[in-house]
Structure formats: C-alpha cells, structure tokens
Copies of this chain bind each other. A is one copy, B any other.
Amino acid sequence: MADAPEGTLPVPPTTAAQLTAAEKYQLVTQNLAEVLGGDQLKAILDERDLIAYWGTAPTGRPHLGYFVPLAKLADFLTASVEVKVLLADVHAFLDNLKAPIELVEARVDYYRRLITAVFRSLNLPLDKVKFVVGSSYQYTANYNLDKYKLTSITSEHDARKAGAEVVKQVSSPLLSGLLYPLLQALDEEYLGVDFQFGGVDQRKIFTYAEQYLPKIGYTKRSHLMNLMVPGLSGGKMSSSDPNSKIDFLDPPAVVKSKIQKAVCAPGEVEGNGVLAFIRHVVVPLGELFRGQGRASVRAWVGEGAPADAVFTVEGNPKFGGETHHFRSVDELEDAYAQNAVHPGDLKSACIAAINALLAPIQAEFNGSAEFQEAERRAYPPEVKPAAKKKEKKYTPKPEHLMTPEEKARQAEKDAAFAAKKQPKQGGLNETEQLREAVVDTLSQ
C-alpha cells in the first residue's frame, strides 16, 4: 500500500470498510491478556459492528501510560467499533476522593480534550468516539434504583473482593469503595455496550458484572483485558513517582531527561518499561499508521529500513555502534536479551518515538487557547505556602543559565515541595460545589 501524502490528516482509515467480521474480531482481540465472552462478540459481529466501553476516572494528570489503552482503542476504532469513553467523575469521587471535588468538572473537560487530541493525532475516526460523563446518568432515578437493587443482592464480602485490585485499599474500607464495582457493572447496561475494555487489574470487577447484571435482568457483557504494562521506572506507571510519569505535555527535553533516568537494565527484558512501551504502544501504533497508508509517519523506523521493519535502534557512533532494524518486538527483545542492543541506544530510540507521538498532541494544545485554559482550570498552579523557608546557604544558578533539563528538574522539585507543603484537603466541606457542578452538568 502506497503512503498517503503527508499533511492530509485527518483522513478516514482506509481499511475499516473492507474488513470482514473475522478480521474485525481479530483486530479487536489482538495483543490482549484475556478475552471473556469472545463468542458473544463473534455472534454480534455477524450482525453489526460492536460497541465498547472504556472508562477513566478524571483524577490526576493523564500520563504517557494512557497510550497503552488508547493504542488498543485505536484497534477498536479501526475495526469500526463504536467506542464509549466514560469520563467517570462519580467513580473518581467514590475512590477515596482522589480528585478534589471542585476540580472534577474541569478535569472531565481536560481529559476529553486530551483524549480527543490523541485520537486525532492517530488519524482515527472521531465520529465513532462518544464521550459520556458519569454524572450525566449516574444520578438518575433508574440508575439509582438499579444500584439499590444490586446493593440488595451483593454482600459486603463480594463487593470488597470485586474492588480489591482497583479501589484504594484502606484499613477500614469505606462504603464508597464498596459501591464502586456495582456502578461499573451498571455502566455497561446504561452505556448500552457489547463489551468493556480495561486492564487485567479490572478482572474481578468484570467478573462481578458478568455474574450480577443477569441477576437484575440485564445482558452479560464480554470483557477484554490488556496486560498491565510496567512504568518507565519499573512498577505501575500511574504511581506518584514523578520520574515514572511522562506527561502528555512534557516538552522533548523533559521526556529525554525522564527516559534517561528510566530503569532499563542491560539484557533484562522482564519489567523493562522502555521495551514494554515499545511493545504496547510504539509498534502497535506504527502498525496502525502503516494500515492507514502512512508508514513514513513512524519516526521510530529509520531511513533505509526494510519495508517490514517496525522499529529501529541506531548505535551511538561514539562507541562504534551499528544500526539495527527489527521486524517485530520479539526480534528486538531477543537482541536486547543478548546484549546486542545497548540500553542507551534503546532509550534514545524510545525518546525519539515518544516525542514523535507527543508532537502533534502538543501542537494542538499550543494552538488552542481553550485547551490551554481547560488545562489551567483542571490543574491550577500550586500556590506556594507563605510559610517561612529555610534560608538558602548558596546562591542558586540563575534561571537563564540553566539547561532545559535543569529547568525541568528544578520545576519538578518545586512542584514536589509545594505539594508536600500544601495542607491536606479533606473535601468534607465541599459538597455544595460538587452539587452545583453536578447540577450544572445535568442541566446542560
């Protein structure tokens, strides 16, 4: 397939219309950890296209880890699946008040804009993406009634078990956390979907839904789960470790700095966040681009690579390194395991790939005053407390003398310091604001 001319984005994917039901099923279920209820999906695909649900609670800033599910959603969209993205403001609230109440609405807005920008950067058909805000239906009488219905057949034990891997575990569990799985089950019915997609950490919530929706007269949905991908510094990417988290708006120098600090032991594939990101995001998106006839957009495939190459690592000429083109991630990992690929070179290739993926998203952000305003409202700059600081014993390097990396590091330090000093917000006196926010949302 010849490359589409550059600069024509967005264009509809050229493949979707020609896919058979079997090919669509293959696309929808590829690269997953587990599929529950695949036969049900096959049967539907014989009749019509699928409808999916993927939920995200608009709490902290969306980070690069979101590319993992979003890359999978790209498969769905390419297979003509209608993707319902639940911006789960109520869930955010239920999970131990992770999102400050007065910011929830602003964060819903920012998440929607950001996810849209990501899909646009991937040249995906946005008409198949439906954003739904949880509070738009989770406060209705019918939903409430169904929730009561589920509470009347769900024991505390089973609710706790279902939420164990998703809801923040505290010594004395809160009722809110116990309700969480019930809401997520009902969402499948109220969003009218054929399947829900999430990480394997959602498995117990998914099986809860499979077991309990039929008990209140609703259809059992299928469940598709992707692997948990390790973060760039090992562990879960959503952790509060700022070095593990690359923000969608991090400039290239910050991305470079963070990746250079990432855990990437020579020869170790297991738990290697850099390799995992290449496997689950970079290469699948490269395949997406190739399917869209835009193979040359792949900044991570070097010049002169063979037509079926998916990733290129250039050796540092300082050390006489040579350039490797890989035809699959397995090939890349094998080479890495045999120390044929240097971690520094792998990181450089990954930095280039990430920056290439982020560039169009950041371009959209930088070109939109509304997007910038949405970001500012969702994550207002931390106000440094007026508390006395220790007298500094040294003269800091003037800002104009700092490298971009040093500036970024200093900004992170400042932010971490401010976050530590910020008094804890209990959120207990903020009901009114959330109520107003919700009523606003409902009356739109």
User: A139-B141, A141-B438, A142-B439 in contact; A93/B431 too (CB < 8 A)?
Assistant: no
Instruction: Evaluate contact between A141 and B174: CB separation under 8 angstroms.
Output: no
Task: Give the contacts of A150-182 with B (CB-CB under 8 A).
Answer: 150-160, 172-176, 178-179, 182
Contacts of A96 on B, CB cut-off 8 Å? Answer: 152
**Chain A binding site: helix, strand, loop or mixed by DSSP?**
helix
Instruction: Evaluate contact between B435 and A145: CB separation under 8 angstroms.
Output: yes
How many chain A residues have a CB neighbour from B under 8 Å?
47
Instruction: Evaluate contact between A97 and B145: CB separation under 8 angstroms.
Output: no
Tell yes or no: A216 within 8 A of B by CB.
Answer: yes
- From the candidates B150, B155, B175, name the one contacting A154 in the complex (CB within 8 A): B175
Instruction: Evaluate contact between A151 and B139: CB separation under 8 angstroms.
Output: no
Interface string of A12-54 (1 = CB under 8 A from B): 0000000000000000000000000000000000000000000
Contacts of A179 on B, CB cut-off 8 Å? Answer: 148, 151, 175
User: Which of A94, A148, A156, A175 has its CB near the most chain B CB atoms (within 10 A)?
Assistant: A175
A145-B439 Cα distance, complex, nearest whole Å: 10
Tell yes or no: A434 within 8 A of B by CB.
Answer: yes
A217-B436 Cα distance, complex, nearest whole Å: 15
Tell yes or no: A442 within 8 A of B by CB.
Answer: yes
Instruction: Evaluate contact between B155 and A144: CB separation under 8 angstroms.
Output: no
- From the candidates B135, B173, B215, B429, name the one contacting A156 in the complex (CB within 8 A): B173
Tell yes or no: A79 within 8 A of B by CB.
Answer: no
User: A156-B156, A156-B178, A428-B216 in contact; A151/B94 too (CB < 8 A)?
Assistant: yes
- From the candidates B152, B159, B175, B435, name the one contacting A159 in the complex (CB within 8 A): B175
Instruction: Say how far A189's CB is from chain B's closest CB, in angstroms.
Output: 11
Instruction: Evaluate contact between B217 and A145: CB separation under 8 angstroms.
Output: no
Tell yes or no: A421 within 8 A of B by CB.
Answer: no
Tell yes or no: A102 within 8 A of B by CB.
Answer: no
- From the candidates B146, B155, B159, B438, name the one contacting A145 in the complex (CB within 8 A): B438
Instruction: Evaluate contact between A148 and B172: CB separation under 8 angstroms.
Output: no
Tell yes or no: A90 within 8 A of B by CB.
Answer: yes
Tell yes or no: A6 within 8 A of B by CB.
Answer: no
With both beta carbons as reference points, the residue of chain B lying nearest to A141 in the complex is identified as B139
Contacts of A156 on B, CB cut-off 8 Å? Answer: 156, 160, 172-175, 178
Interface string of A105-117 (1 = CB under 8 A from B): 0000000000000
- From the candidates B90, B148, B429, B442, name the one contacting A94 in the complex (CB within 8 A): B148
List the 8 closest A-B pairs by CB distance, nearest first.
A139-B141, A151-B175, A155-B172, A151-B176, A152-B176, A139-B144, A156-B173, A216-B431
Instruction: Give 9 new A-B contacts, CB below 8 A, not counting A139-B145, A148-B179.
Output: A139-B144, A141-B439, A144-B144, A145-B434, A145-B438, A149-B434, A151-B174, A175-B179, A217-B429
Interchain Cβ contacts under 8 Å between A and B, 19 examples: A94-B148, A94-B152, A135-B141, A139-B141, A139-B144, A139-B145, A141-B438, A141-B439, A142-B435, A146-B435, A149-B434, A151-B179, A152-B174, A155-B173, A156-B160, A156-B172, A175-B178, A175-B182, A217-B432
